[in-house]
Chain A
Amino acid sequence: MSTVTLKNLVKDYPNGFRAITDLSLHLDDGEFLVLVGPSGCGKSTALRMIAGLEDITSGDLYVGDRRLNDVAPKDRDMAMVFQNYALYPQMTVAENIAFPLKLRRVPKAERTAQVRHAAEILELTEQLDKKPAHLSGGQRQRVAMGRAIVRHPALFLMDEPLSNLDAKLRVQMRADIAGIQRELGVTTFYVTHDQVEAMTMGDRVAVIKDGVLQQVDTPESIYGSPDNVFVAAFIGSPSMNLFEASLTGNDERGGGYSLVLGDHRLAVPAEVVADRPALASYEGRPVVVGIRPEHLEDASVAPDHPDDQRLDATVDVREALGAETLVHFNLNAQSVDSGDPDALDELRDTGRCTARFSASSPARVGDRIRVNVDGRRLHFFDRQTHLAIRDRAHGAEQ
């Protein structure tokens, strides 16, 4: 059984910098967990602590029920794929893949057989006699994978293994790695800064920021109900639109709430309020509201939409992507900084809003358009804490 448990892991670098704060995670046997976060947030540090390449300042690391804090990397029975692959340049592909077996004194015949098998899985059979310098990026990546899979380790560790590949190859390898992992059933801890990789590959996704774990959940839950503004903005592309807004009661219209967003007013559907009991306590107070671009639609494409869930806007920029069209417009509302250092600055304070319209949308730059807002997909966050407003527990914290 290779379950992996991280208990309150802390990493202080010698210069006093705290790279990881209180990281607790649990991986089930055979699970594929993706740790995702912006660059410099401590992902590699976390991975390297598990690998044994960095000391653990405090906290505990268990694989199964064996505590590994003070075990040397070579005795942890983990295989790692590095971002730059770290292939041994003086060895051929076959020797690279066989190296872990050689160190374990696996007999030569068996070694050869296993290398062949790994090479077949990874379609490297033709390349076995080449040196890494003569391989393409994708092939090098596969060799690194091969070196990891030949020895059937308890745990795979992968540090952004796809980030050096071009976009097309990345999509292909994404599927390949996930497929191989599923086939071998080896517990996998995968680090990336690419939220698409996280969403498509992971059984569960852990979002981390500045060394602090933000949320761990299935990709669907992370996308559907992010715990805070950072996770909301980080997961999904284009990012969720986040604005400051205020929540007002609708006494004259017989109950319910409205959202005042710059010059705009949106009705909040009753079921949304029912799902979030804590929302009631925010009446008359400012909140952060989030809406994903894919939950906005051109009203001329979908005319059947409640009138009180529409916005008026003027198209600033239009990007036709073929299957869909991205439309940017300004809402005259205050945008919210999610704290993602990789986010584009220009999108921050301008009140700019991005929508993902169907390709049939006729909207052109400069057009006055009406935008349908899918009110059931609105996200609400506390203005101060940036935490999601859901049940009473969260509201009570204020």
Chain B
Amino acid sequence: MQLSRPSVRPSRIALHAIMILLVVWSVTPFVWTAQTSIKFTRDVASKTPVLWGYETTANAYRNFWLDSDDLNMWGVLAFILVVAAAATALGLIGRRARHGWPWFLGATAVICVALWRFPRIWEANDEYDFLVNSVVVTILTMVISLSIGLLAGYGLARYTGISGAVILIVALGFRALPRTAFVLPYFFGAKEIDDWLTSTGVGSWNFPLIDFPGVDTLQILDTRLAIVLALVAVNQPFTIWMLRSFFIEVPKEMEEAAMMDGATRLQAFRKVIIPIMWPAIIATGLFTMLLAYNEYLFVRVLAPTEWTLPVAIVSLTGGESSRTITEAAAASVSITLPIVIVIILFQKHLVRGLGAGAVKG
């Protein structure tokens, strides 16, 4: 008897063809952008696209990030160190290394100091401030969203009364409304508060101890706070629903066992439930991160000058100022890379978090 090789069925070929097509379809724009970012303007502007054999240059990147024409080697070195520190820290959280916390805190400190000192070492452009804004907004949004989402998701998963269902449905409703429906109310709300702050004089109070750099008056509009508050608000339905669905998967017996073992409800939550939920938290956190990092509309409306990177990039494409398209491409590639690194580091958890039943014992 002869063992026949598994036959390649036409349906399989078709499936692969479709998948390849999808990959090409989604990767091509990025490849195109990446190419554009390292070309000279003349090649980009030529009528027949120059697909290969073109001369490459880092000018676009330099123009976007740096204030001077020559690369400062110390700055580059410092930058590489910071990226390494950030990657290590994230990697440690990703692997949930048991003794990773000192490393993580150390790396965080390095990154903070670097963010603060960089512009001076590196003669950076204004865009650098937008990067800092992006990082601050993203991290704050993520931390606040997750904190609220974890508590609310847990509560709503365990409490099955009518009011719980109402909260969930209302949340879903808000999620279904278009973003644009929220922008103006938030804007006017913030404006009302600012007007009130100004009219009562509270806005110009001087807080000697809390001297926020660059903040002279107390206000909401045009601050990172405004962006964070708005993003947390629009993102909350998603985090609550997503985390709740994971909490439901965790058997109730887990926290009951912990409580029988002598834990308070909060201890049971912290020491037993949260560690089980880790993949779910990472998955939800990544989605929140992407949302905050990529947000355009809210930033543009609520913070006319405190831009984050996406707004800065759009400004390059012609609307706001007329710098070259290569620079916009360089900016796009630069802001995509950190996300790619994070996703690669957390990929394992992302898959586990999204896969059903991952949290079961």
Contact = CB atoms under 8 A, between A and B. Distances in A.
Contacts of B258: 88, 99
Interface stretch (A75-83, A221-229, A284-292): A75-83
Given A89-B361, A90-B275, A103 B267 contact: yes
Contacts, number: 68
A88 B260 contact: no
Contacts of A80: 256-257, 260
Contact of A53 (B256, B263, B360): B256
Nearest to A76: B260
B87 interface: no
Contacts of B263: 74, 103
A84 interface: yes
Contacts of B264: 72, 74
A89 B261 contact: no
Contacts of A87: 257, 361
Contacts of A79: 260-261
Interface string A95-126: 00001100110000000000000000000000
B276 interface: yes
B261 A99 contact: yes
A309 B271 CA distance: 67
Nearest to A48: B256
Contacts of B69: none
B251 A84 contact: yes
B136 interface: no
A85 B361 CA distance: 10
Nearest to B262: A103
Nearest to B278: A90
B260 A78 contact: yes
B261 A100 contact: yes
A133 interface: yes
A132 interface: yes
Contact of B254 (A52, A74, A88): A88
A383 interface: no
Contact of A90 (B251, B257, B276): B276
Nearest to B254: A86
B211 interface: no
Contact of A86 (B256, B271, B275, B359): B256
A89 B260 CA distance: 17
B253 interface: yes
A88 B262 contact: no
B183 interface: no
Given A74-B264, A132-B361, A86 B257 contact: yes
B260 A74 contact: yes
Grouping DSSP codes into helix (H, G, I), strand (E, B) and loop, the B interface class, with mixed when no group exceeds half, is helix
B259 A82 contact: no
Contacts of A85: 361
A43 interface: no
A51 B361 contact: no
B135 interface: no
Interface residues of B, number: 21
A74 B272 CA distance: 15
Interface string A192-207: 0000000000000000
Interface in B261-311: 261-264, 267, 271-272, 275-276, 278
Nearest to B250: A89
A147 interface: yes
Contacts of A90: 275-276, 278
Contacts of A73: 256, 259-260
Given A87-B361, A103-B267, A82 B262 contact: no
Contacts of B260: 51, 53, 73-74, 78-80, 157
Contacts of B360: 89
A82 B275 contact: no
Interface centre among B254, B259, B262 (most CB of A within 10 A): B262
B251 A86 contact: yes
Interface centre among A74, A82, A99, A151 (most CB of B within 10 A): A74
B253 A82 contact: yes
Interface centre among B253, B263, B359 (most CB of A within 10 A): B253
Contacts of B256: 51, 53, 73, 80, 82, 86
B276 A82 contact: no
B361 A103 contact: no
A87 B275 CA distance: 13
A89 B275 CA distance: 9
B261 A103 contact: yes
Nearest to A78: B260
B272 A88 contact: yes
Contacts of B361: 85-89, 132-133
Interface of A: 51-53, 72-74, 78-80, 82, 84-90, 99-100, 103-104, 132-133, 147, 151, 157
28 contacts: A51-B256, A53-B256, A53-B259, A72-B264, A73-B259, A74-B259, A74-B260, A74-B261, A74-B263, A80-B257, A82-B257, A84-B253, A85-B361, A86-B251, A86-B257, A86-B361, A88-B257, A88-B275, A89-B276, A89-B360, A90-B275, A90-B276, A90-B278, A100-B262, A103-B262, A104-B262, A133-B361, A157-B260
Q: Which 5 A-B pairs have the closest CB atoms?
A: A86-B253, A86-B257, A89-B361, A100-B261, A103-B262
